[in-house]
Amino acid sequence: MNVETAKSKTIVFVEDNPVVLMAYRNRLQREGFHVEPAQDGLEALKILTRFVPDLVVLDLVLPKLSGVEVLKFICTDPRYNTVPVITLSTNSIIDTEEEYVLERANKRLIKSSCTPAIMLQAIRELLADPCAPKVASPACQPVGIQTAKAKTIVFVEDNPVVLAAYRNRLQREGFNIEPAPDGLAAMKILSRLAPDVVILDLMLPKFNGVDVLKFIRSNPRLKAVAVIILSTNSIIDTAEEYVLERANKRLLKGSCTPAIMLQAIQELLADPSASAANQSDGSQPTALKTGNVLADIKVTL
């Protein structure tokens, strides 16, 4: 489908998160689609009573009326029999009582693994073939369904906009991203899995990035994990410098981009010998210096 064809297509996009809505809307409009946004279920119904769109993208968790209620409305009106519906949800766990309604959707995408590019491809496929199977494409399966070659990155960042920008780019490159908005969440994730890479902001709520790095380097199970520090400046407390030397790479937020981050990750994964676990920081063993902090962390977890 070319841009000229897309210009005649209208998409009702129902999403209550304005940042998510803007990201998808901007991409779809650049491709020539007309997007009618709705930020809650009630607003979506009001729009749908005015006209019949070419396609509906529907978040399932919405204020006022849920996505399931909107889908029920679509199911009961014959005018929408040929309108493709894409559901966009935060996970794949659905109430069994609602499953019969969700079978009406032509495609189900998971927010954590979907991107504007994936959404665009799904829309083009459905508009080109309205009879397309009503199943999710492999590219948008839940995060737990990964290929054997997929690499996992724990991305610790409390700014959701920054996280989304990097996460979208890395997922497009095939990485599985486990986000953590604070230090405590990061340590909980790391206590149950050993990722390939950790990207670590230093200024975090609950536990800061230095504490998370201490936790990583004191745990033998995380010995091979590569760590990239992503900080707002290069000024570090000298008392903490010995800990930060255990990171594999340090990047400054002000000059880093998703492309630079991707290159850094690829270089680290291509050279396992660069792991900080194999490097000596030339000072006392980490465990001796951080015992009290780690004890507190273990109690908290």
Tokens for 232, please give them.
């707002």
* Final residue belonging to a domain, choices 140, 172, 205: 140
Residues 274 and 211 in one domain: yes
What does the pLDDT look like over 228-286, one tens digit per residue?
Answer: 988 876 545 555 566 677 788 988 887 888 888 999 999 898 875 554 444 433 333 33
The owner of tokens 């990155």 is 153
pLDDT on residue 215: 87
Q: What sign has the CA pseudo-torsion 138, 139, 144, 146?
A: positive
Lowest-confidence segment of 88-92, 240-244, 247-251, 297-301 by average pLDDT: 297-301
What pLDDT band is residue 210 in, cutting at 50, 70 and 90?
A: confident
pLDDT on residue 149: 54
Helices 209-217 + 183-190 axis angle, to 10: 20
Residues 19 and 45 in one domain: yes
Residues 16 and 119 in one domain: yes
Q: What sign has the CA pseudo-torsion 46, 80, 84, 66?
A: positive
Side-chain half-sphere exposure of 94, counting CA atoms within 13 A: 20
Most confident of 25-39, 101-115, 243-257: 25-39
* Final residue belonging to a domain, choices 140, 175, 208: 140
What pLDDT band is residue 163 in, cutting at 50, 70 and 90?
A: confident
* Final residue belonging to a domain, choices 78, 112, 140: 140
Q: Is residue 193 part of a domain?
A: yes
Residue 182 has pLDDT above 60, yes or no: yes
What does the pLDDT look like over 63-72, one tens digit per residue?
Answer: 888 888 888 8
CA R_g for the chain: 23
Residue 74: name the closest of 87, 62, 61, 85 by CA.
Answer: 85
Q: In what order do the strands lie in the sheet with 152-156?
A: 176-180, 152-156, 197-201, 226-231, 249-252
Hey, how many other C-beta atoms are within 10 angstroms of the C-beta on 193? 11
Q: How many domains does the chain have?
A: 2
Q: Is residue 272 part of a domain?
A: yes
Q: What is the pTM of this model?
A: 0.45
pLDDT on residue 291: 38
The span from the CA of 269 to the CA of 170, in Å, is 14
pLDDT on residue 236: 52
Q: What sign has the CA pseudo-torsion 250, 255, 258, 259?
A: negative
pLDDT on residue 241: 62
pLDDT on residue 242: 62
Q: Domain span at residue 79?
A: 3-140
Residues 296 and 156 in one domain: yes
Are 116 and 23 in contact, with CB atoms under 8 Å apart?
yes
The span from the CA of 177 to the CA of 7, in Å, is 34
Residue 160 has pLDDT above 90, yes or no: no
pLDDT on residue 35: 96
pLDDT on residue 220: 87
Residues 130 and 160 in one domain: no
Hey, how many other C-beta atoms are within 10 angstroms of the C-beta on 146? 15
Q: Is residue 146 part of a domain?
A: no
The span from the CA of 266 to the CA of 263, in Å, is 5
Looking at per-residue pLDDT, the higher value among 253 and 130 belongs to 253
**Mean model confidence pLDDT for the chain:** 77
